[in-house]
Structure 1
Amino acid sequence: MKAYIFPGQGAQFTGMGKDVYEASATARELFEKANEILGFDLTKIMFEGTADELKETKVTQPAIFLHSVALFKALGDEAQPQMVAGHSLGEISALVANGVLGFEDGLRLVAQRAQAMQKACDNVPSTMAAILGLEDELVEAVCADVDGVVVAANYNCPGQLIISGEIKAVEEACERLKERGAKRALLLPVGGAFHSPLMEPAREELAAAIEKTTFSEPSCPIYQNVSTTAVTDPAEIKKNLLFQLTAPVKWTQSVQNMLKDGATEFIEVGPGKVLQGLVKKVDRNAETSSATV
């Protein structure tokens, strides 16, 4: 069974999507449509922008979504996923791939999500950190014992967990986790505490946008970050997508469930190869590849 997987924030790079744009008329049409919907030249920033310009949340999220979906659509009939999943932001790309969302609705949701998250980041000084080499349960216990907001945010693969929260609380958790034997406890260059309770204002803002959006029946199941299991009910998909902003990304568990349900090949659609690396750390025998046109 083919599982199509879609990356999230952090996968961006200067020049992203240019190869897809040049190779496919379908992709070019989507790039032009995206510029029109967003009201700024996203294509130019993707192809020629600096790393700093691409790092702005309001640019990064639509850029990764556009790259992923344009590539998927450019594959045409060759793309026949039997299951899909996306890491954080990538979940919206996955929902376009399995027919739950249209391209325009997906892009508008991504743009609104990015703006809402940016506002929430500006409200409270917050950050994230990567913790390597410890059991998930130990990281969770240390976070729970620290004063202030700090939680497990991304279960990326066994031995790699991202924590998220207020700057002081995250720094304190990092120190304690190093004392408990973490190989690395490294602050990440991000603008805020994604997938933590500090994103509650963004969740509330996004709720209205999600409620107004049509969610159709999927062509195949999606393994969502919140539930980790196969979901096909549009109402449940909608609910999970909303709670994703304040809940952890359970990528490890999602990949494990996809494997258990018969996934034999994981095809990463979008910039970079980060997800393929994470899949291999869950199961080194899993077959992975990058979608290309």
Structure 2
Amino acid sequence: MKLAFLYAGQGSQHAGMGADLYEQFSAFRRVFEEAAQSLAFDLKTVCFKDPDGVINQTQYTQPCMVAFAAGVTEVLREAGIVPAYAAGLSLGEYSALECAGVFDAKTAVELTAFRGKAMAEAASGHDCGMTAVMMLDRGTLQRCCEQASALGVVQICNYNCPGQLVVSGDQAAVNRAAALARDAGAKRCIPLKVSGPFHTSLMHPAGDALRERFADVNFAPMKFPVLFNCLGREKSEEDTIPALLERQVQSSVYWEDTVRRLAELGVDTAIEIGPGKALSGFVKKTVGSAITCHTVETAEQLTQLLTEMREV
């Protein structure tokens, strides 16, 4: 078995996530409490109850998701379950790097709290949109975006899997690109609820802010390879992690390419860590049964996974 950990990105969060894990796993609880110390809000209250309805706001979502992922990673680590590779969708890349030992959970949560705030500030004042485009090839959609760019910024922000691309940017330009995509043969164009034009050039201010923040962060060597969103593969010797993370926030996420690369590397088993099972769906649509996926969101799922892994 060659194992990869896959970390969910923003969008799958919900109130109540992690509450059962906190109660049943001491390793999860320890990491979660350590992470909470670095935040200006009550992490447990937002994750477990969200009485003020803020968990879907970027500056809250990102540290909550990373704290959740770090807790699950620690439970797996204590059980001796360590991947050969890791990758994460957008925000999830920080969890993958934490798993690989680049920084600890507390630092990962601090960085993503900063990232979430920087992204929210970069999005402020923009009438932005994001639309999933189904069953249209990359080249055709790229041409649609180029034509629609006369109305503003619009770019392919996510290459999720075959038949599912996402465009983001200025609302008018996104709407025009979607209309052109439908005319070009897209099966469906589905507007998504987002708070910013993420993974487009409009996030350049967030990238600048991250570059300044990273100057004070110690990035340790990776204990195993992480595949990076903006590359769709492992980094080269010339690439630096801070530069890739700065680039990531303002450029496309090549998730389909990442999954194909994992299969090329011989990965046959993946554990999706985080709420939801979107990544497992993307894996199946990209490489079929070549990679078997397990999802971990609840204490019951984690307990079952630990049992299965002991029997391997």
Same fold (TM over 0.5): yes
What is the DSSP-based 3-state SS (H/G/I as helix, E as strand, rest coil) of the residue aligned with 1:130? Answer: strand
Q: Distance in 2 between matches of 1:51 and 1:8?
A: 22
Residue type of the partner of 1:53? V
Q: Does 2:14 correspond to 1:10?
A: no
Contact 1:225/1:254 (8 A) holds in 2: yes
The match for 1:56 is 57
Contact 1:68/1:271 (8 A) holds in 2: no
Comparing 206-215 with 231-240, which one deviates more in the overlay? 231-240
What is the DSSP-based 3-state SS (H/G/I as helix, E as strand, rest coil) of the residue aligned with 2:12? Answer: coil
Residue type of the partner of 1:33? E
Q: Distance in 2 between matches of 1:284 and 1:170?
A: 31
Mark the runs of 5 or more structure 2 residues left unpaired by the alignment. Answer: 297-301, 304-312
Q: Distance in 2 between matches of 1:173 and 1:12?
A: 28
Q: Distance in 1 between matches of 2:87 and 2:174?
A: 28
Q: Does 2:289 correspond to 1:287?
A: no
Contact 1:130/1:160 (8 A) holds in 2: yes
The match for 2:299 is none
Aligned length: 293
Shift of 1:86: 0.4
Contact 2:232/2:258 (8 A) holds in 1: yes
Shift of 1:56: 0.7
The match for 2:113 is 111
The match for 2:179 is 175
Q: Distance in 1 between matches of 2:19 and 2:80?
A: 21
Q: Does 2:90 correspond to 1:88?
A: yes
Listed as ranges, the matches of 1:271-286 within 5 Å are: 271-285=275-289, 286=291
Residue type of the partner of 2:248? Q
Shift of 1:250: 0.2
The match for 2:100 is 98
Listed as ranges, the matches of 1:9-88 within 5 Å are: 9-49=10-50, 52-75=53-76, 76-88=78-90
Post-superposition CA distance 1:249-288 (Å, at most 9, x none): 0000011011001111111112111100100010111211
Contact 2:84/2:224 (8 A) holds in 1: yes
Residue type of the partner of 1:17? G
Percent identical: 33
Shift of 1:179: 1.3
Mark the runs of 5 or more structure 1 residues left unpaired by the alignment. Answer: none
Instruction: Point out 4+ residue stretches in structure 1 off by more than 4 angstroms.
Output: 232-235
The match for 2:204 is 200
Q: Distance in 1 between matches of 2:230 and 2:30?
A: 33
Shift of 1:211: 2.2
When normalised by structure 1's length, the TM-score is: 0.96
- CA distance change for structure 1 residues 272 and 40 in 2, over 3 Å: closer, same or farther? same
Please point out which of 157, 163, 166 is paired with 1:162. 166
When normalised by structure 2's length, the TM-score is: 0.90
Please point out which of 251, 257, 262 is paired with 1:253. 257
Comparing 34-43 with 168-177, which one deviates more in the overlay? 34-43
Shift of 1:137: 1.0
Query: RMSD in angstroms over aligned alpha carbons?
Result: 1.5
Shift of 1:123: 3.2
- CA distance change for structure 1 residues 247 and 210 in 2, over 3 Å: closer, same or farther? same
Shift of 1:28: 1.3
Residue type of the partner of 1:69? A
Q: Distance in 2 between matches of 1:238 and 1:91?
A: 12
What is the DSSP-based 3-state SS (H/G/I as helix, E as strand, rest coil) of the residue aligned with 1:134? Answer: coil
What is the DSSP-based 3-state SS (H/G/I as helix, E as strand, rest coil) of the residue aligned with 2:240? Answer: helix
Contact 1:217/1:233 (8 A) holds in 2: no
Q: Distance in 2 between matches of 1:271 and 1:151?
A: 27
Contact 1:216/1:234 (8 A) holds in 2: no
Shift of 1:79: 2.1
Shift of 1:232: 7.3
The match for 2:245 is 241
What is the DSSP-based 3-state SS (H/G/I as helix, E as strand, rest coil) of the residue aligned with 1:128? Answer: strand
Contact 2:45/2:51 (8 A) holds in 1: no
The match for 1:211 is 215
Residue type of the partner of 1:185? C
Residue type of the partner of 1:34? A
- CA distance change for structure 1 residues 51 and 141 in 2, over 3 Å: closer, same or farther? farther
Shift of 1:231: 3.0
Please point out which of 121, 134, 155 is paired with 1:151. 155
What is the DSSP-based 3-state SS (H/G/I as helix, E as strand, rest coil) of the residue aligned with 2:293? Answer: strand
Q: Distance in 1 between matches of 2:24 and 2:8?
A: 21
